[in-house]
Amino acid sequence: MKILVDENIPAAVACFSQFGEVQQVNGRQLTKDGIGDAEVLIVRSVTKVNEQLLAGSRIRFVGSTTIGTDHLDLKYLSANAIRYCNAPGSNAESVVDYVLSAICRIDNILDRLLAGATVGIIGYGNVGRRLGRRLSALGIAWRAYDPLLDQSQFSGLCNLESVIGSDLLCLHAPLTRDGPFPTFHMLSIDQLTAMPKNAALINAGRGEVVATEVLQALVAQRPDIRLALDVWEGEPAFPVALASACQIATPHIAGYSADGKLTGLRMVASELAAFLNEELKPFDTPDYLATTAPISCDGADEVDFIRCAVTSVYDVEEDNLRFRGIIQSPARGDEFDLLRKSYPVRRELAFTDLTTASAKFLPLLHALQSGC
């Protein structure tokens, strides 16, 4: 059996070789001709899996090692008896780490949140709930909007207007284009200009949730609102003017921790094993996933300590600076993908050995790593 896997999925060859012959492919450039006689396709979010790609092929299993499914034509897959799966929640903690790092780097936001300002979360799924849990553990107030959930069963849920009125707005809604509450271009310029003075907006979910034109208008009308964008409409292309106006701009890497990638790989491999009525055997994982060396953290106060602990493990400013280097490039689309392909090893807070000599900071350390 031939198995096609995206070349940017770490340990994929070691993992899937137990099921058949593994061939690595460029997920962004994969076409119908490249499918050949493969029966299994393992992708990331950059590959559009639909009739155009699979018609006439022998593919009978599609697995995406990412949390979303908007790149999969689920109706087509179901209609053609092609088994599919994704990896919900696999990189959720990685995305939360990204948000925390952005909070540490956006001017004055961390200070204000610890002093009583509020975070608004749009989308209360795997990422939104984990973010809420860690914010609560840090003593930071938050509220969330998710019309698909029963507000009476989830504390913290409220209406959209209240969430948009928060000092920091975090977007974690999946991309949907139909149903009673589609998220495609769901936020208008009128809604976003109603945000408080000196607010901030972080989008580490899906670029199409807010239209590029709306964000550009927001920059023009409300320059006091700081933007941290990890996702963009039309990736890998991105609008130069908007990217330049962001305080933080990154190439869709919020969920790119090594730990999250391995979790997603194992989830999909387990589904494939079950589909084939086989048992998933242990496989070699990269050496960089061994236990990390201890990192000592300290600070003059809570703000200093949180910033030290978070950025010692993952500093989003490093990704921001790398992205700045390609913004004006004529080949910025290709370089966007190259930044993702050559992304440095990044561990999650929960898998890092953080220590502190200050007993007063131990509760904050536990909160950052486990949300409790």
Question: Catalytic residues, which ones?
Answer: 206, 235, 252
CB 164 within 8 A of CB 120: yes
Query: In angstroms, how far is CA 18 from the centroid of its own chain?
Result: 29
Residue with tokens 């969430």: 163
Exposure letters 156-186 (e unless 16+ CB within 10 A, then b)? bbeebeebbbbbbbbbbbbbbeeeeeebeeb
Alpha-carbon distance 370 to 91, whole Å? 15
Cα–Cα dist 56/58, whole Å: 7
Helix axes 126-137, 362-370, angle to 10 degrees: 180
- Helix 92-105 to helix 258-275 angle (10° resolution) is 160
Q: Which string of b and e fits 77-90 if b means at least 16 CB within 10 Å?
A: beeeebbbbbbbbb
Q: How far apart are the first and last CA of the chain?
A: 45
